[in-house]
Structure 1
Amino acid sequence: MRGMAPLVMALALLAFLAGCGPRRPAQETSAPRENNVRVRVVEAQVGRLSISRTTGATLAPIRESQVGATASGKVLAVLVREGSRVGAGQVVLRLDPVNAQTALTNAELALEQARINLARAERSTAASLAPLQASLESALANLRAAERRYQEGQQLYQAGALAQVELVGLEAAYNQAKAAADNARENLARAQRASQEDLALLRLQVRQAENQLAQARRALSDTEVRAPFAGVVAEVFVNPGEFVAAGQRVFRLADTSRLEASFRLPPEEAAALPIGTTLSLGYGGQTYPARVSRSSKVPGTDRLVELTAEVEGSLPPGASAQVRYNLNLAEGVLLPAGALRTEGRSTFVFVVQEDRAVRTPVRVLGDSGAQVAVEGVERGARVIFPVPTSLSDGDRVEVVR
Structure 2
Amino acid sequence: MIKFSAFQPIYHCAMLSALSLWAFGNFPSEAYGQNAEDAPQGVSIERAALSLIAPEKFRVPLEVSPVRTLPVVSPMDGVVRDVFVKVGDSIQEQMEIIRLDSQVFAMELKRAQAVHEVAKIALAQATEPKAKQLLEAKLNVAKRELELAAFRSGQTILRTGLSGTVTELFVTPGQFVRAGDLLAKVVDPTQLYVQIPAERGSIEVGKTVPLTIEDQTADATVEAILPPLPEFNPLRELFVSVATARLVIDSKDGRFTPGQSVVSKMVPKFPVAEIQILALKTDTETPDSERMVQVIRDGFVRTIPVQVLGQVGQTHIFVSGRFSPNDELIISSSQSLEDGSWVRPMLLETNAPENPTRTPSPAPAPRTGF
Which structure ranks higher in relative contact order (CA pairs < 8 Å, sequence separation ≥ 6)? 1
| TM-score, normalisation: structure 1 | 0.45
Q: Radius of gyration: which is bigger?
A: 1
Query: What is the TM-score normalised by the length of structure 2?
Result: 0.49
